[in-house]
C-alpha cells in the first residue's frame, strides 16, 4: 500500500504541474446544470445579438442533458427531474430555434412541466426570467419596493440586511419589476400553454399569497411608513430610489463588466440597465456581455457558461495540496502560484466593511475576476498556500509577510459575534427577513455561521497559524461548533454536499486546535462517518441532503466526498486503520475513472436550486488525503 500511495501521489503531482498556466494559476472549470446556458441563449435572442455559433453550441449541450422523460436534472439521482431547470431549458431550446414544440422530447418536457404545476410553481429566479420576456406577470406589489433602497441602516429593515450576493440579484430585479420591463421579439416563443391552470387567478396566486401573509403586511407597512418619513415628494423618492439602484449596481461591477463576478446577477443587470432607459448598445451592457462570454468553457457535454470562475480557489488549494505532497516551496510551480495569489489579494473595500468598518482589506475572492467580494474560505486557502513564503520572506522584501498579516487581520475580524464564521459578511442574521414571503429566500438572504466555514477556519488557525483553543477567537469557534452538532454526530455543511463536508470540516478544525480526539463530540462524529462508509471503501452523499436537511446516501462513492471523510478520520486516528485503508484503496483504484460519480456535483450553491461540479475537486482532495495518509506511515524527502 505504501508504494502504491507514493506512486499515485507522484502521478497526480506531475500531472498537476503540467496543468498549471504560465501565470501560476490553475484554471479548472465549474460546471452546473442548464441554467446559465439557457439564460445566455435567452439573453442573446432577447437583445437580438446574432451570435449564432455560440447559441447553437449552448443549445446542443442543453439538449444532451435532457432525460428520456423530457425533463432536466440538477444531479444524477434527482427523482424524475427539476421543474425550473426544465422550464428554462425548454424555453431556451425553443428560443434558440433548434427544437420545436412538436418534437417528441419537447412534448415530454411539456408534460413534465404541467405535471409539476406548470410555470406558477417555478422558482423566483425562473419567474423573473419569464416576466422579463413576457411569459409571466410581474407581481404587484413586489414583496419589497425599490424605494426600500433609500431606507437608512438604522431602520428596522433596510436593503443591507440582505447579504451581498442576495443584494446584487435583488437590486436589478427591483428595478425591472418597478418598470414592469418586458422584452419580446418576433422569435420569442409562446409559453402560455405551460400553465397547469390557464385561469388568471392561478397565474397571480403568488400575489394572493403575499396579501394573505400577515407578517408580510406588517413588513410592507413598516417600509411604506419609513418611506413616507423621507423629506421628499413620492415622485422624488421614486426617482431617487431608481438612481440609487443604478449607482449600487455600477459600484459593484467588476472591471471585466460582470456584476459581482456572477453570471446570474450580471444577466439581471443587463435587463435592469435597459429598464432604466439605457440603449442596448450602452457600454455597461456591451462590457457585461463580453464578461459573460468569457465565462464560457468546454465540458464533456459541450460548451458551458460558468456561473463564475474558481481560479483563485483552485490555485490556492492546489498549491497547498502540492506542498503537502512534498513539492518544495522553492520549486517553480509553487513560486509561480505564490506570486499569482499575492497579486489577487484584495486592495479595495467591499460591502463586508458595512459591519466591519475599522479593518483594512486583506481577503481573497473566489474568482480571478473578483476584486471587491472576498470570502473567508478563499482567504484561509490563500494563506495556507503562502504560509511558507511568509515565514521566510527575505527574497520578496517581506511582501508575503505583509500579505499574511493583512489576511490574518481581516480573517479574524470577520468572525461572527456567535463564534462561528460566515462566508462573506459578518452578523447578517436579522430574523425580520423571514417575514418576506419569497420561497427559498431564507437560504440566500443571510450569511450565517456554518460548520464548514467555521471548521475550515479553525483548521487553518491551528495547523498553519499555530493557534490553539486558548486563543479567544478559537475558543469561541470551538464552542459554536459543539453547540451546532447534529444529534447523529454529524455537522451540516453549507457550501459543499453536505453532512460529510460539514463533518470533515468540523473534525479537522477541532483536532487542529488541540481539542482531544477522545472528546465525545468527536467520537460521535467518527462513529457516524464510519457508519456511512460504502462497501467499496468510499463515501457518497446525495445533493438531496441539503433539501431534506438530513443525510441522504448517494448509493455510490465520489472522489471528493471519500477524500473528505478519510482526511477527517486521519486527523483523529493519526495512523491507518482498516476503514482508512479501504478508503485509500478506493481512491487509488478509481483515480482515473470517468463516469457520473466523478462528475457528480459536490459543491452547493442554493439548496434544491444550484449545485456545482468543480473539475478540480477530484484532484485536490484525494491528493491531500493521500498525502496525509503517507505522513502517517512513511517519511519521504521533499521533491
**What cell was used for 162?**
440582505
Phi and psi (nearest 5°) for 24? 100, -10
What's the CA gap between 366 and 346, in Å, rounded? 11
346 Cβ neighbours under 8 A, 6+ residues apart: 361, 362, 363, 364, 365, 371, 372, 374
Phi and psi (nearest 5°) for 374? -70, 165
What's the CA gap between 274 and 272, in Å, rounded? 5
SS3 string of 509-568?
Answer: HHHHCCCCCCCHHHHHHHHHHHHCCCCCCCCCECCCHHHHCCCCECCCCCHHHHHHHHHH
From 178, 351, 375, 377, the catalytic residue: 377
Nearest CA to 563 out of 385, 323, 317, 382 is that of 317
Nearest CA to 542 out of 489, 488, 487, 497 is that of 497
Q: Is 430:146 a contact under the CB 8 Å cutoff? A: no
**Helix 234-251 vs helix 164-179: angle between axes, to the nearest 10 degrees?**
140
224 Cβ neighbours under 8 A, 6+ residues apart: 145
In terms of DSSP bridges, do strands 610-614 and 30-31 run parallel, antiparallel, or are they unpaired?
Answer: antiparallel
Beta bridge partners of 614: 30
**377 noted as active-site residue:** yes
**What cell was used for 215?**
407578517
What's the CA gap between 521 and 513, in Å, rounded? 15
560 Cβ neighbours under 8 A, 6+ residues apart: 602, 614, 617, 618, 620, 621, 622
**What cell was used for 45?**
435572442
Element (H, E) at 297: strand 296-299
Q: For the chain, how many residues are written?
A: 639
428 Cβ neighbours under 8 A, 6+ residues apart: 161, 162, 163, 355, 422, 446, 447, 448
Element (H, E) at 284: helix 283-293
What's the CA gap between 265 and 171, in Å, rounded? 9
Q: How far is CA 72 from the centre of its chain?
A: 20
What secondary structure does DSSP assign to 103-159, as a single string?
A: SHHHHHHHHHHHHTTBGGGS-HHHHHHHHHTTSSPPPSS-SS-GGGGGS-TTSSS-G
Element (H, E) at 305: strand 302-305
Cα angle, residue 466 at apex, residues 462 and 470 outer, rounded to 5°: 75
Active site residues: 377
Amino acid at each position: 500500500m505504501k508504494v502504491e500511495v507514493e506512486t499515485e501521489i507522484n502521478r497526480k503531482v506531475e500531472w498537476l504541474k503540467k496543468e498549471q498556466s504560465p501565470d501560476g494559476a490553475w484554471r479548472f472549470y465549474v460546471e452546473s446544470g442548464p441554467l446559465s446556458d439557457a439564460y445566455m441563449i435567452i439573453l442573446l435572442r432577447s437583445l437580438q445579438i446574432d451570435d449564432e455559433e455560440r447559441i447553437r453550441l449552448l443549445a446542443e449541450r442543453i439538449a444532451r442533458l435532457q432525460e428520456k422523460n423530457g425533463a432536466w436534472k440538477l444531479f444524477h439521482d434527482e427523482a424524475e427531474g427539476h421543474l425550473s431547470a426544465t422550464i428554462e431549458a425548454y424555453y431556451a431550446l425553443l428560443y434558440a430555434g433548434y427544437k420545436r414544440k412538436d418534437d417528441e422530447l419537447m412534448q415530454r418536457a411539456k408534460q413534465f412541466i404541467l405535471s409539476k404545476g406548470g410555470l406558477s410553481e417555478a422558482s423566483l429566479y425562473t419567474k423573473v426570467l419569464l416576466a422579463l420576456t413576457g411569459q409571466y406577470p410581474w407581481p404587484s406589489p413586489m414583496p419589497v419596493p425599490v424605494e426600500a433602497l433609500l431606507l437608512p441602516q438604522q431602520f428596522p429593515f433596510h436593503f443591507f440586511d440582505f447579504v451581498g450576493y442576495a443584494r446584487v440579484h435583488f437590486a436589478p430585479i427591483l428595478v425591472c419589476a418597478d418598470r414592469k420591463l418586458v422584452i419580446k421579439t418576433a422569435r420569442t416563443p409562446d409559453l402560455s400553454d405551460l400553465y397547469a391552470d390557464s385561469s388568471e387567478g392561478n397565474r397571480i396566486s403568488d400575489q394572493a399569497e403575499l396579501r394573505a401573509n400577515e407578517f408580510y403586511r406588517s413588513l410592507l407597512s413598516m417600509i411604506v411608513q419609513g418611506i413616507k418619513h423621507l423629506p421628499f415628494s413620492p415622485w422624488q423618492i421614486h426617482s431617487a430610489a431608481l438612481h440609487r439602484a443604478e449607482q449600487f449596481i455600477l459600484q459593484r461591477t467588476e472591471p471585466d463588466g460582470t456584476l459581482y463576478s456572477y453570471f446570474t446577477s450580471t444577466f439581471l443587470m443587463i435587463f435592469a440597465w435597459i429598464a432604466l432607459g439605457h440603449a442596448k448598445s450602452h457600454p455597461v451592457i456591451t462590457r457585461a456581455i463580453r464578461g459573460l462570454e468569457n465565462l464560457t468553457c468546454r465540458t464533456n457535454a459541450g460548451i458551458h457558461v460558468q456561473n463564475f470562475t474558481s481560479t483563485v480557489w483552485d490555485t490556492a488549494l492546489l498549491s497547498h495540496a502540492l506542498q503537502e505532497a512534498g513539492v518544495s516551496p522553492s520549486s517553480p510551480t509553487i513560486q509561480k502560484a505564490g506570486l499569482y495569489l499575492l497579486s489577487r489579494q484584495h486592495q479595495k473595500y467591499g460591502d463586508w466593511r458595512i459591519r466591519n468598518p475599522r479593518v483594512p482589506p486583506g481577503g481573497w475572492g473566489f474568482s480571478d475576476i473578483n476584486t471587491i467580494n472576498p470570502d473567508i474560505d478563499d482567504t484561509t486557502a490563500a494563506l495556507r498556500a503562502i504560509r511558507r513564503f511568509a515565514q521566510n520572506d527575505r527574497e520578496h522584501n517581506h511582501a508575503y509577510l505583509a500579505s499574511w498579516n493583512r489576511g490574518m487581520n481581516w480573517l479574524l475580524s470577520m468572525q461572527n459575534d456567535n463564534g462561528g464564521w460566515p462566508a462573506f459578511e459578518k452578523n447578517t442574521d436579522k430574523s425580520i427577513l423571514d417575514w418576506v414571503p419569497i420561497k427559498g429566500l431564507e437560504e440566500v438572504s443571510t450569511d450565517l455561521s456554518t460548520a464548514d466555514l467555521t471548521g475550515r477556519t479553525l483548521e487553518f488557525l491551528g495547523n498553519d497559524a499555530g493557534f490553539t483553543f486558548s486563543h479567544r477567537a478559537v475558543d469561541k469557534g470551538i464552542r459554536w461548533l459543539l453547540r451546532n452538532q447534529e444529534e447523529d454526530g454529524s455537522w451540516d455543511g453549507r457550501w459543499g454536499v453536505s453532512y460529510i463536508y460539514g463533518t470533515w470540516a468540523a473534525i479537522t478544525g477541532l483536532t487542529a486546535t488541540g481539542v482531544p480526539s477522545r472528546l465525545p463530540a468527536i467520537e460521535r462524529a467518527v462513529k457516524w462517518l464510519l457508519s456511512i462508509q460504502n462497501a467499496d471503501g468510499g463515501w457518497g452523499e446525495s445533493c438531496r441532503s441539503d433539501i431534506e436537511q438530513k443525510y441522504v446516501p448517494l448509493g455510490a462513492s465520489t472522489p471528493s466526498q471519500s477524500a473528505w471523510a478519510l482526511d477527517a478520520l486521519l486527523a483523529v486516528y493519526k495512523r491507518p486503520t482498516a476503514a482508512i485503508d479501504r478508503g485509500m484503496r478506493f481512491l487509488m483504484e478509481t483515480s482515473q475513472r470517468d463516469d457520473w460519480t466523478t462528475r457528480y456535483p459536490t459543491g452547493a450553491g442554493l439548496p434544491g436550486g444550484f449545485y456545482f461540479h468543480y473539475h478540480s475537486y477530484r484532484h485536490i482532495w484525494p491528493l491531500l488525503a493521500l498525502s496525509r495518509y503517507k505522513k502517517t506511515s512513511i517519511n519521504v524527502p521533499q521533491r
